[in-house]
Amino acid sequence: MDPSSLNTAEVQRFLNQEKERAMMNEMVAKLTSVCWDKCITSTPGSKFSSGESACLSNCAQRYLDLTLIIMKRFQSMQ
Amino acid sequence: MDPSSLDTAELQRFLSQEKERAMMNEMVAKLTSVCWDKCITSTLGSKFSSGESACLSNCGQRYLDLSLIIMKRIQSMQ
């Protein structure tokens, strides 16, 4: 197989999109898991209680805040 | 192998289907694990009790609800 066929801009673009999608999916899965553990501490009901809803909302935001903080810290170290 | 046989549209379709399947399998495994831990807290019987059944049903649904909430939150950030 001619390896230069793997070097097109098109393949690169496709791979970058796939990487982006994979990272997003990973973040969604991680946040769901983390905030479930942190906020759903009793038997799940037929809907989220207002307390649980508030906790889940805060949890997601704080975790994303933290991700950004860590990322900036690493970038500033280079 | 003739690299021109890797038609990108066909390949992308195949990859999309495989990704979809993989994500579904992963969600099934995750839900099973999470809701087992959350709802099966006492000695195992010869079948699920009605309390356990209700918990398992709610748990599955709530976790999927949360997953969707998180997904929308992350998408809205872009």
Residues 6 or more apart whose Cβ sits within 8 Å of residue B31: B59, B60, B63, B64
Distance between CA atoms of residues B15 and A74, nearest Å: 33
Distance between CA atoms of residues B62 and A40, nearest Å: 10
Reported as a single tens digit per residue, the pLDDT across B11-32 is 888 988 999 999 999 999 999 9
> Do the chains contact at A31 and B59, CB–CB below 8 Å?
no
Please provide the CATH number assigned to the domain covering A3-77: 1.10.287.810
Has this prediction a pTM greater than 0.90?
no
Interface predicted TM-score (ipTM) of this complex, two decimals: 0.81
Per-residue pLDDT band for B6 (boundaries 50, 70, 90) equals low
Report the residue from B3, B26, B66 with minimal CB separation from A5. B3
Reported as a single tens digit per residue, the pLDDT across A18-71 is 899 999 999 999 999 999 999 999 999 999 999 999 999 999 999 999 999 999
- Cβ neighbours of A35 in B, within 8 Å: 66, 70
